Structures are given as structure tokens and as C-alpha cells.
Amino acid sequence: MKATKVEEKIFLTIMICSTVFVLSCLILILATVIWRGLPALNLSMLLQTPKGGFYLGKEGGILNAIMGSLFLAGGATALAMAISLPIALFLHFYAKRSWHGGVVRLALDVLWGIPSIVYGAFAFILMLWLGLRASLLGGIIALTFLELPIMTRGMDEAINMVHPLLKESSYSLGATRLETALKIVVRQAIPGLLTSSLLAFGRGIGDAASVLFTAGFTDHLPTSLFKPAASLPLAIFFQLSTPFPAVQNRAYASALILTGIVLGLSIMSRRIAGRLTEHVIR
């Protein structure tokens, strides 16, 4: 065999191994969650709030945590999008040739690696300063901080992928930078922008530590921005830490629901992306 053939073989093997490894991890996790959670899952769990306290309760459901998590992560993702997109556009269109851009990117990369409990603590201090207690709003603020770095960097990359000649086309028609950014680049980058938002949402909805102090927990549905809100990761955490197997199984059922939400959202956003990207140049 020629050296190039051998090389190809080696790379192919590595690729297959890593794919198999990632897939089997996913399958193992899913299998555990389904195996232990599915029997405990029922309709009342999806549709009712807890009865008799989440720590001891095997009655009622976790609708409080489902709604809480959707509100927390949804609100945070919306806020983070509103902040990330302008930052990403600014980085690309105005700070490209200056050192500011590099500093901002470095900061975002560092922020990305900071543990979520630190975000929780930071948001908590901010809340104290603002006079907020543990509340839906507090949780949204904490999750927004958590989601910002991953979303902004993702959007930054998506925008950088837009072909320079596409921008040149727009400029040569007399469009300003802003018009080019909003009417051409955002359109062209929509798939990447949506993926970044989805990744950030996934990170936000799955995080327990950052909402622990900031959103708190409650058995009630989230009805006000200024009252505590439950969340799925914390529900899972509390249920898992009881000594009762029946309640622990409910934790797996909750994990299953959380996974289902993320999966459902991924599929939905793909559909939406498909519709929005009819005109995207490939």
C-alpha cells in the first residue's frame, strides 16, 4: 500500500472511532434516562404542579418546573439574542481592523469557560444591588449572562462565513454598512444565527447552578417576573437527592422531559430555518 492510502485508512479509523464514541455516549445517557424515567412518566406529571412538596412528593407533576424552565431559558435567549446580534455585527463591520475586536473576542472566549455557578453568584450580587430577590427575572438575568458568550461567538463565526463578495455586491449598489449588515449579511447568516441561538438555549435550559440562587424554586407556576420560578434542572437535582427510589425515578422522568423539549426545539428550529433559508446562497 502507498503511504497516502495508509494515511487515509488511519484517518478514517480515527473518524469512525470518534463518531462511535460520541454516539454511544449519547445512546447510553438516553437509554438510562428512558429506562428509569419512562415508567415514572405520566400525563399528570406533565400537566400538574407538585403535591406535598417536591422533595418528598411522588404525587402531582412538574408543570411548575417545565413552565419555569421555558420562561427562564426563553426569556434569557430572547434577551441574549437582542444583545448578541448587535455585538456580532459590530465586531464584523466596525471593529474588524482594530484591536478592540480581538479584545472582545478574547473576553468572550474566556467568559465561555467560566463555570455557571460563578455566573449565578455574579447575577446574585447584581440582583442584591438592584434590590431583586430570587425571582424569574433574576434567573433570566443570570441565564442571559451564561448564554451571551456562546451565542455571540457563534453568531460572530456565522457572520464571518458570509462571502466577502456578497458584501461587495451590496456596497457596489450604494448600500451603507448598516444596510448591508441588516439586509444582506443577517439574511445570509440566518442558519448559523439560529444554530447559535439554539445552542445557547440548550445551555441555558440545562443549567442548574446559575439559577440556584437567582431564580430559586417554587411549587407554583411562574406568574410574575418578581416571584421565584422553578426549573427542570433543579427539580431533577432535588428529586435525585431524596432517599426514595420512586421520587428518584421521577427525576429521570423529568430529565426525559427536558431532553424532549431540547429535541423538539431543535426539530422545530430546523423547520423554521428551512423556510427562512430558501434564498440563502450556498
Asked if residue 270 binds other proteins (CB under 8 A), the reply is no
- Output helix, strand, coil percentages for the chain, rounded to the nearest 5: 75, 0, 25
Site size with other proteins, rule: CB under 8 A? 25
Binds other proteins by CB under 8 A, chosen from 58, 105, 187, 227:
187
Helix (H, G, I), strand (E, B) or coil at 51: strand
Q: Of 171, 248, 269, 273, which lies in the binding site for other proteins, with binding defined by CB under 8 A?
A: 171
Q: How far separated are the first and last CA of the chain, in Å rounded?
A: 37
Residue type at 120 in one-letter notation? G
Decide: is 148 part of the binding site for other proteins (CB under 8 A): no
Q: Minimum CB separation from other proteins for residue 160, in Å?
A: 14
Centroid of chain to Cα 225: 20
User: CA triplet 72, 78, 82: central angle to 5 degrees?
Assistant: 140
Q: Does 271 bind other proteins (CB under 8 A)?
A: no
- From 131-139, 177-185, 220-228, 258-266, span contacting other proteins (CB under 8 A): 177-185
Cβ distance 219 to 53 under 8 Å?
yes
Kindly tell me which of 117 and 190 has the beta carbon lying closer to other proteins.
190
User: Strand pairing of 59-60 and 50-51?
Assistant: antiparallel
Query: C-alpha distances in angstroms, 13 versus 6, 9, 19, 20, 107?
Result: 11, 6, 10, 10, 37
The least distance separating other proteins from the CB of residue 169, rounded to whole angstroms, comes to: 5
Stretch that binds other proteins, among 15-23, 32-40, 147-155, 180-188 (CB under 8 A): 180-188
Residue from 9, 51, 96, 100 in contact with other proteins (CB under 8 A)? 96
CB of 61 to other proteins, least distance (A): 45
Half-sphere exposure of 259 (CA within 13 A, CB side): 17
Judged by CB under 8 A, the residue of 8, 59, 109, 168 near other proteins is 168
273 lies in the site for other proteins, by CB under 8 A: no
Backbone phi, psi, residue 230, to 5°:
-80, 165
Residue 254 is a binding residue for other proteins (CB under 8 A): no
Between 5 and 282, CB nearer to other proteins: 282
* Grid cell digits, residue 264: 423538539
Considering just the CA atoms, what is the radius of gyration of the chain in Å? 22
Interface residue with other proteins, options 13, 19, 42, 169 (CB under 8 A): 169
Q: Which spans of this chain sit near other proteins (rule: CB under 8 A)?
A: 96-97, 163, 165-176, 179, 183-184, 187-188, 278-282
